[in-house]
Amino acid sequence: MSETSVEKMSESEIKTALESVPEWNEVGGELQRTFQFDDFVESMKFVNKVADAAEADEHHPDILIRYNKVTLTLSTHDANGITGRDFKLATTINGFAG
């Protein structure tokens, strides 16, 4: 399956792909990870990087900000589940967390 495929992945494909995105989990048919930062300002700097990448890919996560914690949830609505696009964005986002 292509890394940027928009076809819904099988459970076995998701399980295998999760090995490539540390700390991400499948939660209710979506990819999710919570990042923790020193303070709110650092959280917002991270969210702005995520927003720029998401806009460039035209693939937008759900974002929950709680002071120094940011929870991101990824799924592909057109496929009604997790696709290669979600893993591609998760990989990009992991790069921002340093």
Is 65 a domain residue?
yes
pTM of the model: 0.91
Task: State the total domains in the chain.
Answer: 1
pLDDT by position in tens, the chain (length 98) = 444 568 999 999 999 999 999 999 999 999 999 999 999 999 999 999 999 999 999 999 999 999 999 999 999 988 999 999 999 999 999 999 86
Cβ atoms of residues 71 and 43 within 8 Å: no
Residue 25 sits in a domain whose CATH number is: 3.30.1360.20
- Residue 4: inside a domain: no
Q: Is residue 26 part of a domain?
A: yes
Domain containing 50 equals 11-96
Is residue 6 in a domain? no
Domain annotation covers residue 55: yes
What DSSP assignment string belongs to the chain? --TT--SPPPHHHHHHHHTTSTT-EEETTEEEEEEE-SSHHHHHHHHHHHHHHHHHHT---EEEEETTEEEEEE-BGGGTB--HHHHHHHHHHHHHT-
In a domain, 5, yes or no: no
* Residue 83 belongs to a domain: yes
Instruction: Please state, in angstroms and rounded to a whole number, the distance separating the CA atoms of residues 98 and 23.
Output: 13
Q: Which residue has the tokens 């928009």?
A: 6
18 belongs to a structural domain: yes
